[in-house]
Structure 1
Amino acid sequence: MKPHPGKPKFIKFKSGDKGEGMPAAFMEGKTWSPKPGVKGQIHTWGLFPVAYISPVDGISMMYRTMLHQSKYLGLVGTSPWPENQFLDVLKERKREQLSQLDLAGLDERDIIIKIHMPVRNLHCYHFTDFRDGSLFGPEAIVEIWAPGIQWSHFGLQVGYDYMPDDKYMLAHLFSKVGDTIGYLYDFGDKWYHEIEVEEILPREQSYGQVKVLDGSGMCPGENMRGSFQYDVFLKEYDADSYIAQNKKKREILDTPNYKSFGKPPSLFDIEAFDISAANERLAAALASPNSVRTGAKSFKMPMAPNATDLESHFLKKGQSIKRDWEPESHGYWQETTTERKDKRSQAVCAACGKPGGQELKTCSGCRMILYCSAEHQKAHWKDVHKSQCSRKYLKK
């Protein structure tokens, strides 16, 4: 690879690193400004001109990581990669911008949003502010990767660095009707969505509950290769014969989230949408004490038996690494999980899904489930929680 001809103004290279394999944007100065691409949107800090598609030569980036990682991850100490130095400037610029936003009165409004995929309808996520391409995601993912591995993973997969999403609200990304942000789920398959503000209601007109208002079609099967591949799948389904359609239905029903369907493929309606069932699943997910952030799911092929031990040093309290081995592939799927429950400030009522913050009351039996009122606790106990509660803290 040839050294990059540019001269960066605010990043420092270690001796011997000439910037080989780096995107041109990294060589710009502090005055660098991202340019809108498709539909006037800016993606991935403005480094990628097309949504979620990197123009960077992945092989060159991987070679760059292998060639220079000893310079930045030496025995004496670590130094930030030049790419990370660049992102630190953009993140600081974004933090300053967000600190100046006035969100007073936000608690007196309810925002109705519309979520849709740009095409027809590893486990993690991030949000994109289309105004400048800044990314918001779980800070834990960045911390769980060793610095050199971190750059290789993010550079080749989905982005470069995140603003910690638990320190901001969606209102920091959009706050008026028509505003749109991006949402990416699953870094492996890549399910792309756009979230648009459809309506903003005065508080007195809304119950304050997180609720599904509309939708269409059955949920795609897990591990079905993301939005674009699933769009191709559906187009082929529309053109298929009855027998071929049943074969495709069977493919969906073989995925993890449809294992409990329990009916013949012919009875599976790919166009159906049950709003009541969707809201039941949403309420259960919001109320679950296990609705915590986890690390990105990734596939690994260890070079040595003890190669996986290194990652355990980056785990936080309550975290563990879950691995599912695939002997045929000589590797495994890995995901970082945690047993710690949601903070009260991030929790919702188990019965209705309404966020309540410090006003939520805990179930005295298990101390895991929260409620916004005694009435909702009684109703939820009778219908759901009675069979689930551990009763660990009840006096005998």
Structure 2
Amino acid sequence: MTTKATPNALILRIELLDFEPVIHRQVKVPADLTLADLHECIQLAMGWENEHLYGFRIGRTHYGPDGDGILEDDVGLLDALGRGRTLNYTYDFGDSWEHKITVEKRLAGDPLQPRYVCLGAANACPPEDIGGVFGYLNYLEAVADPKHPEHEDYLEWFDEPLDPAACDLDAINRRLAVLE
């Protein structure tokens, strides 16, 4: 009789919804992380600044830090998921950055390897407070067109135009290293 070992690591796909091309991160995390730990991981992996409210949703259950649902501090990700594989994460209720988190794989991790590591990533995360998906798309259009009425305003707002395809895996992993 064989028994399945309890996983000690997970491979997660974190995808920012409503973008084409896709903005995502694939991260290895400890299997025993709480939803609060997952929030920190998402913030660092995506490049968010952790300045806004957030919440998780698994089916009809809401988890968050502010009492709007179940407090997530002591809730383990695997316990919250049960047999499921996906959950939703909303960051910044004003801009409504919607993320889909998928457990791609449960595995036995190497204890000598970092507990949090980004294995793959695509495209830059939008800047904070840009107005959500439509604000970011407007920003990209405006900085690409010198005749756009907001071109100069956006160039003054940011030191340099954001390259939407830029994604530095080494920089992501340096940020994630603080979670060790």
Normalised TM-score (structure 1)? 0.32
Query: Take 1:242 and 1:231, find their aligned partners in 2: how far apart are those partners?
Result: 14
Higher relative contact order, structure no. (Cα contacts within 8 Å, ≥ 6 residues apart): 2
What secondary structure, in the 3-state scheme, does the structure 2 residue paired with 1:269 have?
A: coil
Is residue 165 of structure 1 aligned with residue 72 of structure 2?
Answer: yes
Match of 1:124 in 2: 53
Match of 2:175 in 1: 281
Listed as ranges, the matches of 1:373-388 within 5 Å are none
Structure (1 or 2) with the greater strand fraction: 2
Listed as ranges, the matches of 1:82-121 within 5 Å are 106=6, 108-120=7-19, 121=23
Which of 216, 219, 226 matches 2:122? 216
> 1:282: how far off?
2.6
**Structure 1 segments (4+ residues) deviating >6 Å:** none
Distance 1:123 1:242, change over 3 A: same
Is residue 254 of structure 1 aligned with residue 157 of structure 2?
Answer: yes
AA partner of residue 109 (structure 1): N
Match of 2:61 in 1: 134
What secondary structure, in the 3-state scheme, does the structure 2 residue paired with 1:243 have?
A: coil
Contact 1:173 1:181 in 2 (8 A): no
What CA deviation, in whole Å up to 9, does each residue of 1:117-138 have, x standing for no partner?
22114711111012xx100111
What CA deviation, in whole Å up to 9, does each residue of 1:348-383 have, x standing for no partner?
xxxxx2xxxxxxxxxxxxxxxxxxxxxxxxxxxxxx
Distance 1:181 1:241, change over 3 A: closer
Distance 1:191 1:201, change over 3 A: same
Query: Take 2:5 and 2:79, find their aligned partners in 1: how far apart are those partners?
Result: 14
Q: Where in structure 2 are there 5+ consecutive unaligned residues?
A: 24-50
Which of 156, 164, 172 matches 1:270? 164
> 1:110: how far off?
0.7
Query: Take 2:81 and 2:152, find their aligned partners in 1: how far apart are those partners?
Result: 38
Name the % identity.
27
What secondary structure, in the 3-state scheme, does the structure 2 residue paired with 1:229 have?
A: helix
Match of 1:381 in 2: none
Query: Take 1:186 and 1:167, find their aligned partners in 2: how far apart are those partners?
Result: 22
> 1:179: how far off?
1.1
Query: Take 2:171 and 2:97, find their aligned partners in 1: how far apart are those partners?
Result: 22
Query: Take 2:177 and 2:155, find their aligned partners in 1: how far apart are those partners?
Result: 24
Match of 2:35 in 1: none
Listed as ranges, the matches of 1:169-318 within 5 Å are 169-174=76-81, 179-204=85-110, 207=113, 209-226=115-132, 228-230=133-135, 232-233=137-138, 237=141, 242-243=145-146, 251=154, 254=157, 264-265=160-161, 268-284=162-178, 286=179
Structure (1 or 2) with the greater helix fraction: 1
What secondary structure, in the 3-state scheme, does the structure 1 residue paired with 2:117 have?
A: coil
What secondary structure, in the 3-state scheme, does the structure 2 residue paired with 1:215 have?
A: strand
What CA deviation, in whole Å up to 9, does each residue of 1:299-326 have, x standing for no partner?
xxxxxxxxxxxxxxxxxxxxxxxxxxxx
Query: Take 2:173 and 2:151, find their aligned partners in 1: how far apart are those partners?
Result: 27
What secondary structure, in the 3-state scheme, does the structure 2 residue paired with 1:173 have?
A: helix
Distance 1:115 1:212, change over 3 A: same
AA partner of residue 271 (structure 1): A
What secondary structure, in the 3-state scheme, does the structure 2 residue paired with 1:283 have?
A: helix
AA partner of residue 166 (structure 2): A
> 1:215: how far off?
1.5
Distance 1:253 1:110, change over 3 A: farther
Q: How many residues align?
A: 146
Match of 2:42 in 1: none
> 1:281: how far off?
2.1
Report the aligned-residue RMSD. Answer: 3.3
Normalised TM-score (structure 2)? 0.65
What CA deviation, in whole Å up to 9, does each residue of 1:93-123 have, x standing for no partner?
xxxxxxxxxxx964x4211000102211471
Q: Where in structure 1 are there 5+ consecutive unaligned residues?
A: 1-103, 143-160, 256-261, 287-352, 354-396
AA partner of residue 185 (structure 1): Y
